[in-house]
Amino acid sequence: MEFAIESAREMLRRTPDTLRALVSDLPEQWLHGREAADAWSPYQVCGHLLHIEECDWIDRTRVILEHGTTRVFEPVDREAGFARFAGRPPNDLLDRFARQRQVNLEELARLVTSDELERRGVHPDFGEVTLAQLLATWVVHDLNHLNQIVKTMAKEYTDAVGPWRAFLPILDLP
């Protein structure tokens, strides 16, 4: 599928409700469970998504539109949201994420038309990237972390499913 900005906006619009449906009002075991010692919990994923929503996608969009390839994107600390939002009630994170996503979608609609999608910026690790690639990554980033939450939660019942595990490949995904 080729990237289309309207389609991307529609996907991005759905993430806050999907995230809320997955984690709102869950018991601590579900929120803080991890599939491995170095894996992120659903709660940590929420903090990460909020942090990135506040300091990455629209900031980088502006860098491309205002500076093109003359300015490299600021690196992003992927785990900064863990400490930044530690101890906050999950529903507060979800509410703040939903508000920030709405603001970002309004800003995206104001800033970007299909004519700008081939404009380029510079990622600190990847080099030149297009605005379309950045925006497509935003969508896939959301889907990746929603998948991460679902997979982590499913693995809480790895042993409990007994012999049905043979029909549940999510339990054996790395």
pLDDT number for residue 124: 97
pLDDT grade, residue 70 (50/70/90)?
Answer: very high
pLDDT grade, residue 68 (50/70/90)?
Answer: very high
| CB neighbours of residue 128 within 10 Å | 11
- CATH numbers and ranges of domains, the chain: 5-172 (1.20.120.450)
The per-residue pLDDT for range 30-53, each reduced to its tens digit, is 999 999 999 999 999 999 999 999
pLDDT grade, residue 101 (50/70/90)?
Answer: very high
Mean pLDDT of 108-112: 97
pLDDT grade, residue 103 (50/70/90)?
Answer: very high
| CB neighbours of residue 161 within 10 Å | 13
Give the whole-angstrom CA distance, residue 105 versus residue 12: 8
pLDDT number for residue 37: 92
Question: Could you tell me the two tokens for 91?
Answer: 């529903």
CB 63 within 8 A of CB 73: yes
Q: What is the mean pLDDT of the chain?
A: 97
CB 25 within 8 A of CB 91: yes
Direct distance between the N- and C-terminal alpha carbons of the chain, in angstroms, rounded to an integer: 26
What is the enclosing helix (H) or strand (E) of 22? helix 5-23
What DSSP letter does each residue of 64-130 carry, written as one string? HHHHGGGSBPPP--TTHHHHHTTT--HHHHHHHHHHHHHHHHHHHHHH--GGGTT-EEEETTTEEEE
pLDDT grade, residue 113 (50/70/90)?
Answer: very high
pLDDT number for residue 132: 98
Give the whole-angstrom CA distance, residue 43 versus residue 50: 11
**Residue 155 is which amino acid?**
K
- Dihedral of alpha carbons 34, 38, 44, 46, sign: negative
Q: What percent of the chain has pLDDT over 90?
A: 99
